[in-house]
């Protein structure tokens, strides 16, 4: 084959017009024969364009790379083993969903490829159109609208074939997070296949997961098979369990069909009878109404989170107060009893009281995802995220951050571009996780009128997200120059959520929250109580002031108040040492200690405040009264802002470190949120002082 020759494999499903395409090429020479070893027609067309000799091998029509007929077997074998430079995939513009499922299988080969949207004249006649530029951006592929019958678009098509060959443009298709994770498990073991069989490790991994017998037989003869087999079996089992399917081939078929629908939704205009999903999508992903609707949904969720979730707070708080009283009656007076009744029980009770708020937030996010609206929201947000240097796929880990930062960091793995992934991970911490919610509820209910508390909560969450986007834009402009990758996501059909699944998910989250409250937070509360009550403080007073001798027995007459003891405790020493950091924000050493303790887990901020401010237990309302006496409104605003932006818990930070191996980014991630949190809290404090006098 000469340097200026391009050998093209012409591939498509039956009846997509490949024969028309061959017959329409002007000046072509047609050769008809048979493929080696089989009685299947082999058509080969040769012609010249721009100094290149193009040889088109017309392969038999094939519906899938899982062949059922001898003709399909020939096509598959040629694609896997044949000598060609480029794939020209012909699709029927009137049957896009069906045709694109094959296109996506061909893209898995990661060979240079061009798509010809044939029969476009018929498609256009019915009011349809295809945004070729978007498709090319989304799939990293060249494409053209053509009509072999009407002979238009053909010259442009072959110009793109030549361009693709010159640039060696290879497509790349991203599947769902679950599938991509299993592919990533297999690829490292298949690297040597690239040299041995000239197939990409990613393609082999996909075909093995999909259950391709031919690829399996090939890999079975390689030395790597012993290490690969147990991992492959576990991956296939996980996929079957995740999708509740017995056959992984069905899983991949439905995945590609969903991706095709998502691509069509974003790139194709067509006039036909609308489905219910399409009718709803016309409203929910409307270019103008889509964003206000999404913000309205989130506003309503936070209203419900605050107003409905706050109803049982006092009831739960009273229950723990009564528990503390019972424990004080059951146990003899001792420091241990004091630790339980004054420290652990009221602190844990304060944290548990916010469980309804958290469950309502999780319920709302769960419903948004299960109904199929989450994917629509990502699509709506794609245009906005691009303006801030992100892509629509970043939306999923960012929204996951409202639940918990740990899985959000893991979800960022779906972003294959390293720059997009790192920028997203650096701002996930600004999406307020569920553990921050109790702190917000406590401070907002203490300082803001009931009528606007839900609105304030919405502003807190929205403000954190907006600042995160601004930071992403700055990072993109300064440290990560370049454009984010195009975004393609499947848009599933709307469906009613399964009640059993929702209840099970909420029950699991409840158990985890209560377990955390009963173990980690209880231990942290005990530690805070100990540090706030020791060493025991004795004022420099004469002995007789402390004790009075009656009938030969000395009885104590002087009692140190809790406030005096606290001011001379280990905790006070720690708090006063770090107080210069927090005093410019209008915060006392108590709030400083609570924020420092919050690095272990954000709920500990609330339990710490409960230990420091409540005298002998106390209700939620009493805790709010103590906080109002210590803090001004400006200080409360500063504290809320600081909590939004400073470092997440140790578990989340550890997850980031495990996902990002570069030490410079680990160090940057550890420092910059805290500096930004302090600066924004200081600005918020000064502005609030200015406007409130």
Is the fold of 5-167 the same as that of 177-272?
A: no
CA-closest candidate to residue 603, choices 530, 516, 668: 516
Whether 600 contacts 649, CB under 8 Å? yes
- pLDDT for 39 equals 43
Between helix 437-447 and helix 355-370 the angle, nearest 10°, is: 120
Regions of the chain with pLDDT less than 70 = 1-3, 26-42, 68-69, 193-197, 271-275, 313, 343, 414, 416, 483-493, 537-562, 614-619, 693
R_g of the chain computed on alpha carbons: 32
Q: For residue range 426-485, what is the model confidence (pLDDT) as tens digits? A: 999 999 988 898 899 899 999 999 889 889 999 999 999 999 999 999 998 888 877 666
Q: How far is CA 615 from the centre of its chain?
A: 42
Domain boundaries, the chain: 5-167, 177-272, 295-484+499-534+569-692
The CATH number of the structural domain formed by 5-167 is 3.40.50.300
- pLDDT for 273 equals 60
End-to-end CA gap in the chain: 83
Q: Per this entry, what is the length of the chain?
A: 693
CATH number, domain 177-272, options 1.10.3470, 1.10.260, 3.40.390, 1.10.287: 1.10.287
Whether 206 contacts 244, CB under 8 Å? no
- pLDDT for 386 equals 83
Which residues are 44's β-sheet partners? 31, 57
Q: Can you tell me which residue has the tokens 């403000």? A: 463
Please report, to the nearest 10 degrees, the dihedral formed by the alpha carbons of residues 271, 276, 279, 282 taken in order: -100
Whether 457 contacts 388, CB under 8 Å? no
Q: What is the pTM of this model?
A: 0.63
Cis ω before 535 (30° cut-off from 0): yes
Question: Residue 609 and residue 246: Cα distance in Å, rounded?
Answer: 52
Whether 444 contacts 453, CB under 8 Å? yes
Average pLDDT of the residues of the chain? 83
Question: Residue 51 and residue 59: Cα distance in Å, rounded?
Answer: 25
Given CA atoms 79, 84, 85, 88 in this order, what sign does their dihedral have? Answer: negative
Q: What is the DSSP letter of 393?
A: G
């Amino acid at each position: 084959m000469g340097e200026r020759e391009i050998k093209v494999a012409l591939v498509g499903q039956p009846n997509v017009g490949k024969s028309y395409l061959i017959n329409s090429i002007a000046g072509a020479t047609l050769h008809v024969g048979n493929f080696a070893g089989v009685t299947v027609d082999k058509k080969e067309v040769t012609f010249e364009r721009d100094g290149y000799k193009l040889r088109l091998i017309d392969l038999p029509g094939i519906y899938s790379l899982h062949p059922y007929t001898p003709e399909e077997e020939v096509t598959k074998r040629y694609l896997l083993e044949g000598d060609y430079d480029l794939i020209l995939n012909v699709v029927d513009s009137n049957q896009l969903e069906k045709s694109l499922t094959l296109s996506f299988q061909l893209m898995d080969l990661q060979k240079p490829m061009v798509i010809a949207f044939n029969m476009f004249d018929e498609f256009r006649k019915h009011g349809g159109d295809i945004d070729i530029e978007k498709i090319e951006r989304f799939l990293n592929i060249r494409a053209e609208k053509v009509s072999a019958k009407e002979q238009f678009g053909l010259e442009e098509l072959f110009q793109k074939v030549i361009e693709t060959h010159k640039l060696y443009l290879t497509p790349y298709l991203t599947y769902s997070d679950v599938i991509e994770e299993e592919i990533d498990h297999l690829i490292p073991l298949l690297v040597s296949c690239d040299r041995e069989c000239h197939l990409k490790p990613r393609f082999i991994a996909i075909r093995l997961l999909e259950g391709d017998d031919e690829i399996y037989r090939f890999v079975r003869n390689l030395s790597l098979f012993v290490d690969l087999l147990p991992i492959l079996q576990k991956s296939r089992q996980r996929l079957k369990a995740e999708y509740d399917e017995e056959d992984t081939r069905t899983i991949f078929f439905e995945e590609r069909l969903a991706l095709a629908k998502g691509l069509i939704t974003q790139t194709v205009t067509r006039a036909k009878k609308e489905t219910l999903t399409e009718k709803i999508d016309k409203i929910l992903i409307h270019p103008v109404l889509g964003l206000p609707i999404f913000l309205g949904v989130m506003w309503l969720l936070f209203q419900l989170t605050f107003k409905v979730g706050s109803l049982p707070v006092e009831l739960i708080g009273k229950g723990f107060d009564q528990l503390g009283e019972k424990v004080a009656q059951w146990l003899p007076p001792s420091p241990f009893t004091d630790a339980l009744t004054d420290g652990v029980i009221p602190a844990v009770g304060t944290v548990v009281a916010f469980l309804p708020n958290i469950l309502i937030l999780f319920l709302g996010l769960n419903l948004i995802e299960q109904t199929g609206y989450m994917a629509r929201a990502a699509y709506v947000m794609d245009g906005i995220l691009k303006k801030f240097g992100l892509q629509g796929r970043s939306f999923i880990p960012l929204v996951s951050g409202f639940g918990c930062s740990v899985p959000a960091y893991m979800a960022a793995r779906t972003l294959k571009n390293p720059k997009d992934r790192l920028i997203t991970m650096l701002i996930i911490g600004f999406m307020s996780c569920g553990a921050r919610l109790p702190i917000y509820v406590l401070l907002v209910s203490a300082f803001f009128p009931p009528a606007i508390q839900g609105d304030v909560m919405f502003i807190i969450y929205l403000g954190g997200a907006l600042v995160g986007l601004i930071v992403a834009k700055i990072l993109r402009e300064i440290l990560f120059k370049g454009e984010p990758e195009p975004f393609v996501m499947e848009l599933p059909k709307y469906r009613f959520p399964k009640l059993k699944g929702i209840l099970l998910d909420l029950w699991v989250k409840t158990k985890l929250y209560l377990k955390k409250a009963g173990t980690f937070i209880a231990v942290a509360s005990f530690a805070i109580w100990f540090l706030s009550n020791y060493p025991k403080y004795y004022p420099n007073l004469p002995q007789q002031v402390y004790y009075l001798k009656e009938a030969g027995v000395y009885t104590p007459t002087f009692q140190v108040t809790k406030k005096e003891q606290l001011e001379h405790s280990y905790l006070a020493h720690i708090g006063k040492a770090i107080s210069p950091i927090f005093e410019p924000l209008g915060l006392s050493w108590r709030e400083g200690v609570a924020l420092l303790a919050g690095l272990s887990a954000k709920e500990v901020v609330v339990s710490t405040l409960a230990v420091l401010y409540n005298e002998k237990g106390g209700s939620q309302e009493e805790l709010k009264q103590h906080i109002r006496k210590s803090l001004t409104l400006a200080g409360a605003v500063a504290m809320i802002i600081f909590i939004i932006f400073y470092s997440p818990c140790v578990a989340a930070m550890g997850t980031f470190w495990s996902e990002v191996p570069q030490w410079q980014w680990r160090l940057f991630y550890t420092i910059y949120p805290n500096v930004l949190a302090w600066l924004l809290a200081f600005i918020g404090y000064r502005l609030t002082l200015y406007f409130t006098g």
